[in-house]
Amino acid sequence: MSVDTRHWIGGERVASATTFTDVSPVDQAELGEIARGGAAEVDAAVAAAQAAFPGWAATSREERAGVLRAIADGVEKRLEELANVETLDNGALLRSHRRGVMPRVAHNFRFFADWLEGLAHDDFDTRGHGNHVSWDPAGPCALITPWNAPLMLATWKVAPALAAGNTVVLKPAEWSPLTASLLADIAAEAGLPPGVLNVVQGYGAEAGAALVAHPGVRRISFTGSVPTARHIAQAAAANLTPLSLELGGKSPLLVFADADLDLAVDLAVEQYDNAGQVCLAATRLLVESPIAEEFARRFAERAAALVQGDPRDEATDIGPNIHPRQLDKIDGFVRRAVTGGARALVGGGPNTDLGGLYYRPTLLAGVEQDSEIVQEEVFGPVLTLQTFDGEDEGVRLANDTRFGLAATVATGDRERAERVTARLVAGTVWVNCFFVRDLRAPFGGSRESGVGREGGNWSFDFYCDVKNTVSAPRGWRENG
């Protein structure tokens, strides 16, 4: 497999004077030297996006949708290549990339192509005057994406932005840059005009900062950390650039005593997916007191059966974490929690048998609600276990962080589910399930978990300038 590690700007490959090294989390092998962009490359990419915007915005909905479907076809043709490259680049399971992630990448393009063709608002009347709502392309969009699901999360943004008639400058995470480069190749082969999609590689403090502060950008969409989002919001404010932010989470899994306990344990163990590097993960297990002991016992049995190892092996359940800095961060959280009185019921440290970047799936009990391990996002395979008595206490604990991205509820009582979900502060709530994500639904976070919603019409509302045209009933010249 060969991946071009230069930028993609205006339909051409562009090198930089300096590079940075991309290292695989699987075995710490060097994957390549990546072009290290900065203000100059960002200026060139935004200029290319501006130049391409009038032509792409003027294309018909049907033509845009056709190109998006061709990109989806290209993803499907190169699915095996994309899956292998991304597994090497970010360490997620190859079987997940093959069966779920890359097919979802293709679906992202097909979905927004279909939604674009059906995008409409009923005309309505105001005292005899007609109202017509339309969605006008906004202009060049800056899309900054994370490393935990690089291509899928990038295309959640790229697909609706292109469908809306905008041009794009994509800045992928420097820890997992490779599949964004392959996407540029696929889009070009699908007939996307030069300059409509641009990819600038580099560090957030250099390329990313220049991109979000650029006056030529008309939309900013970012997925990542709260501190970075604060910097982006400050930069966007100077140009009054609308932005959408999908940020961190510290989501709860509420398990009530009337829940199907096997199902609840399944849901809890599922939170170790992608080595815990999932913003939506329910990392705080809140279990009603009467079943807490049995829940912990069953959970420990299930967690012990998980296979940790090379993510390219079909038998592997948990792969490595992304980077030495991330591993150190995870371990620091756990060590401080244990020093503060927490007990490791499962795991509790790096997997010394494997070495490298593998951290054992961990469950900590004896944690205080106001402790760091309960309040701060770890972004690793680390869960906490707390107990509660009754709905009121469960909801109070669930809502008692500064985040509000998601929540999961396990209960056998439909009325309880309705009462509890109505009180939870979260952008998405799952009941007796997890990570069921439909692109027709709004997606985003509350509190410090984000700003705005994307998905379905919400995506077009963000990536477009929504216009209402009001026409008078008179004043028209008669023909003939």
Active-site residues, by number, are 246, 279
Q: Calculate the alpha carbon distances from 390 to 201, 366, 393 in Å.
A: 50, 19, 6
Secondary structure of residue 337 in the 3-state scheme: helix
Q: Which residue has the tokens 């192509």?
A: 113
Which residue pairs, CB below 8 angstroms and at least 24 apart, start in 210-213? 210/38, 210/39, 210/42, 210/43, 211/42, 211/45, 211/46, 211/142, 211/144, 211/169, 211/171, 212/142, 212/144, 212/236, 212/241, 213/238, 213/239
Does residue 117 contact residue 62 with C-beta atoms inside 8 Å? yes
DSSP state of 59: S
Q: Calculate the alpha carbon distances from 266 to 88, 378, 408, 409, 410 in Å.
A: 28, 21, 12, 13, 11
E strand residue ranges, 338-381: 343-346, 362-365
Sign of CA dihedral 284, 285, 286, 292: negative
φ, ψ of residue 434 to 5 degrees: the values are -155, 140
Secondary structure of residue 209 in the 3-state scheme: helix
Closest of 143, 187, 161 to residue 57, by C-alpha: 161
Half-sphere exposure of 432 (CA within 13 A, CB side): 14
Does residue 322 contact residue 274 with C-beta atoms inside 8 Å? no
Query: Residue 386 has which token pair?
Result: 């707390």
DSSP 233-266: HHHHHHHT--EEEE-----EEEE-TTS-HHHHHH
Q: Which residue has the tokens 């409509």?
A: 196
